[in-house]
Structure 1
Amino acid sequence: MDVTIQELKQREAEGKNDYVLLDVREDYERAEFNVGGIHIPLGVLTASFDKLANHKDDEIIVYCRSGKRSGMAQHLLQQSGFTNVRNLEGGMLAYQG
């Protein structure tokens, strides 16, 4: 199940930090604008699962520029046993919009 920008912003406003943010964009994209979280570019995600091992059962909200790469990351994580992975609909384009 995906998460909307509105839902994420509401949770942030309420101080509900009961999730892990995962940015799968490239370094230059993150340098331009980001909303925090763990940064692991999609191209190295599968080789970096150990960095996320402690969050296997936590809610992970994955984001990228538009939602496409984060959707791929969501699928990869789910296939690797992560149980609660959500894609941020529209990514940073929608967040900034």
Structure 2
Amino acid sequence: MTAQMPATIASADLRRVLDSASAPRVLDVRTPGEFETVHMPGSYNVPLDMLREHREEILAHVDEDVVLVCRSGQRAAQAEELLRRAGLPNVHILEGGITAWQSEGLPVKRGSQRWDLERQVRLVAGLIVALAILVSIVVPGVKWVAFAIGAGLTFAAVTNTCAMGMLLAKLPYNRGASCDLQTVVSQLVERP
């Protein structure tokens, strides 16, 4: 099946493959909070930060084709690189992520609504910059906080990483009840 599946796969094509006898394993690398809000039926939540820290333990339970899903494809691309470096050759990315899947009207499971991690980053960065500018009226040196946030966002765009996003992903709001290695591994082992 690996030879038949491209490195990136469109939502409609993935839907057809998921209905076949040799369906790939779908790993959603978003935060548990984002996963709880909306996810593809049958997908497994393996947050990107957990995958970074525990890829060997997780890979021990994945031996078929894997399709990685995130919000739009950026975190899935980072996860793909990690898994390929760890020796898993059959890794694919859902083109456009869960956003594209939903826009095509494909089935999803919904839970309590939470903000996407990207939206949280925009909120926190915007608040820090706005407050730093206001406070700099009284304390001039605080303007450098706004500069640091701007430089950090520029670095995030250039490197396709986001330190603020990684920090926000660790907050309890984004974690959820089932975000530990044992739970993830047991779900991968108990695949129907």
TM-score, normalized by length of structure 2? 0.46
Q: More strand per residue: 1 or 2?
A: 1
Name which of 7, 10, 14 aligns with 1:8: 14
Structure 1 residues 44 and 2: CA distance shift in structure 2, 3 A: same
RMSD: 1.4
Partner of 2:180: none
Runs of 4+ in 1 over 6 A off after TM superposition: none
Alpha-carbon separation, structure 2, partners of 1:80 and 1:44: 14
Structure 1: gaps (5+ residues): none
Partner of 1:93: 99
> What are the residue-to-residue correspondences of 1:12-91 with 2, within 5 Å?
12=18, 14-35=19-40, 36-49=42-55, 50-55=57-62, 57-91=63-97
Alpha-carbon separation, structure 1, partners of 2:88 and 2:65: 9
Equivalent position SS for 1:29: helix
Structure number with larger C-alpha Rg: 2
Q: Contact 1:40 / 1:48 at 8 angstroms: preserved in 2?
A: no
Structure 2: gaps (5+ residues): 1-6, 104-192
Shift of 1:30: 0.5
Task: Give me the identity figure in percent.
Answer: 32
TM-score, normalized by length of structure 1? 0.88
